[in-house]
Amino acid sequence: MTQLSQSNSETFAAASLAAKSGTEVRLEGVTKDFGLAKPAVDDITLRIEPGEFMTLLGPSGSGKTTTLNLIAGFEVLTKGQVLLNGQDVGALPPHKRNLGMLFQNYALFPHMSVYDNVAYPLRERKTAKDEIQRRVGEVLELVQLVGRDKHLPKQLSGGQQQRVALARAIVFNPKVLLLDEPLGALDRNLRGALQLEIRRIHREVGSTFVFVTHDQDEAMNLSDRIALFNEGEIEQVGAPEELYARPETLFTAKFLGDSNVFHLGKVSPIDNAVAWEDERWAVDANTVSPKVASDRGSALVVRPEGVSVSKNRSEVPPDANAVKATILDIEYLGSYRTLVLALGDARLNGRARIDAQSSDFSLGEEVVAWWRPYRQRLVAE
């Protein structure tokens, strides 16, 4: 609390870009109800560490942007609390929260030069003139836009405009930077370059970053942790590798990367085997998601890179789980091939990744797909 109330004077007295001290952001039972069938954000609790790069990921309409707006103060909470370093800011208007924000469409002031745009938050905080000049210079250097300060936003490319917006959002050393799909309007190449830049700046300024995106690759590339949103609730929180390797629900497994999915119906989480069609598969206790329960549907998922393909059952190792498959298509992807499979009698869509060299499969061939039990994951539906 003291930290936040002092942050204005402190930030500017310290006057260093590398503040290396982020703010902890805590959401306690945060709810936003627009009066529709289901609240847009439904009772979310999330703790974002100081200096962490947290991504709110999810499909459109999953509540991630609303959550960001609740943190920023652009929306009013229906229920719950938003705490910055332990202080409840629910009643504070946006201009008193001292957060940086980056918008998808940049939101640069079109009637102001690059310099005036970046100086704007400093002037609002009554910073001394020479101090403004120094800080704007520093931050324009940080985003590699030196020498453009007299330009108007419309004279810059999309990527440059987003750099200006980034400079403007961090120039006053906000302890938290909120990024609302900032790369959404850029083309693919530019996105990659700016992702690197955002990561570098995060490392250099040390603020807490809260990043909203619907792009799973972007989330995987940038984040320390990802909070995956689904219909106003958080499905799972964790490091990118954790979400990919250890999904707790089918939604998570499908949203991040490709999966072969076998729907099992209700199973008991303590069984050491499950049945699917005629197959019986061994289940390793530590591959069972904590969300699996006997009163809820479950599914078995395996990533394509965990699946091997053999000509017949005799070639399958005895400790592996296997299913019969038909090869529908073979995709050549440079370093590897992907076999597109029809799995089991149900002819489920499936995929297996194999060596680019192994070319002894042909279309329509009946084969056996198999995987070691540790490569699979039993998740809740």
Partner 1 sequence: MTQLSLPRRAPNLSWLLLVPAVALMAGVVYVPLIQSAVRSFGDPPSLQEYADLFSDGITMTVFWRTLGSAVVVTLVTLVLGYPYAYMMTRASARVRGLLMTVVLVPFWTSAMARNFAWLILLERNGPVDRIFQFFGIHDVVFYQTTTGVTIAMTQVMLPFMVLPLYSALAGIDRKLLLAAQGLGSTPVKAFWKVFWPLSKVGVMSGLVLVFTLSMGFYITPALLGSPQNSMIAQLISQRATQLLDFAAAGALGTFVLIVTLVLVGMANSQGGSISAISVVVNTDSPKGNG
Partner 2 sequence: MAATLGETRTAQAAPPKKLKIKPVDAIPLWLRTLAAIVGVYFILPTFIVIPMGFGGATTTFKFPPEEFSVKLFENFFTNPAWIGSLGKSALVGVLAALVASTFGTAAAVGLHFLPGRLPTLVRTLLMIPLVTPSIILAVSIYVSFLQWHLTGSLPGYVVAHAAIGLPYVLVSVTAALSSFDSTLLRASASLGASPWRSFVTVTAPLISKGIGTGALFAFVTSFDEVVIALYLRSPMFQTLPVQMYNSVTVEIDSTIAASSSLMVIIVSLILFIPQFARAKKTS
Secondary element (H or E) of residue 121: helix 114-124
- The span of 106-114, 154-162, 198-206, 305-313 binding partner 1 (CB under 8 A) equals 106-114
Taking the complex as a whole, how short is the minimal distance between the CB of residue 178 and partner 1, in angstroms?
8
Chain position carrying tokens 């991504």: 55
Residues 335-374 that bind partner 2 (CB under 8 A): none
Q: Note whether 88 binds partner 2 by CB under 8 A.
A: yes
- Nearest to residue 27, comparing CAs of 5, 44, 51? 44
Q: Note whether 85 binds partner 2 by CB under 8 A.
A: yes
- The span of 78-86, 193-201, 223-231, 351-359 binding partner 2 (CB under 8 A) equals 78-86
Nearer to partner 1, 17 or 253 (CB): 17
DSSP E strands, 97-232: 100-102, 176-180, 208-213, 225-230
Taking the complex as a whole, how short is the minimal distance between the CB of residue 108 and partner 1, in angstroms?
8
- The span of 48-56, 100-108, 224-232, 305-313 binding partner 1 (CB under 8 A) equals 100-108
Q: Note whether 279 binds partner 2 by CB under 8 A.
A: no
DSSP E strands, 73-206: 79-84, 87-88, 100-102, 176-180
Describe the crossing of helices 114-124 and 158-170 by its angle, rounded to 10 degrees. 20
Taking the complex as a whole, how short is the minimal distance between the CB of residue 96 and partner 2, in angstroms?
12
Nearer to partner 2, 26 or 337 (CB): 26
- Alpha carbon 364 to chain centroid, angstroms: 38
Secondary element (H or E) of residue 70: helix 64-72
Query: Residue 191, exposed/middle/buried by CB under 10 A (0-12, 13-18, 19+)?
Result: buried
Handedness of CA 114, 120, 122, 128 (dihedral sign): positive
- The span of 38-46, 56-64, 119-127, 260-268 binding partner 1 (CB under 8 A) equals 119-127
Residue 192, both tokens: 């990659």
Q: Give CA separation, 369 vs 65, 154, 303, 332, in Å.
A: 41, 55, 12, 19
CA 351 – CA 305 distance, rounded (Å) = 9
Q: Note whether 12 binds partner 1 by CB under 8 A.
A: no
Q: Note whether 302 binds partner 2 by CB under 8 A.
A: no
Q: Note whether 280 binds partner 1 by CB under 8 A.
A: no
Taking the complex as a whole, how short is the minimal distance between the CB of residue 79 and partner 2, in angstroms?
7
Among 11, 65, 66, 98, binds partner 1 (CB under 8 A): 98
Among 25, 72, 170, 299, binds partner 1 (CB under 8 A): 72
CA 238 – CA 30 distance, rounded (Å) = 19
Binding positions for partner 2, rule: CB under 8 A: 1, 24, 26, 28, 73-77, 79, 81, 83, 85-88, 90-91, 93-94
Binding positions for partner 1, rule: CB under 8 A: 72, 74, 93-95, 98-101, 103, 105, 107, 109-111, 120-121, 124-125, 168-169, 172
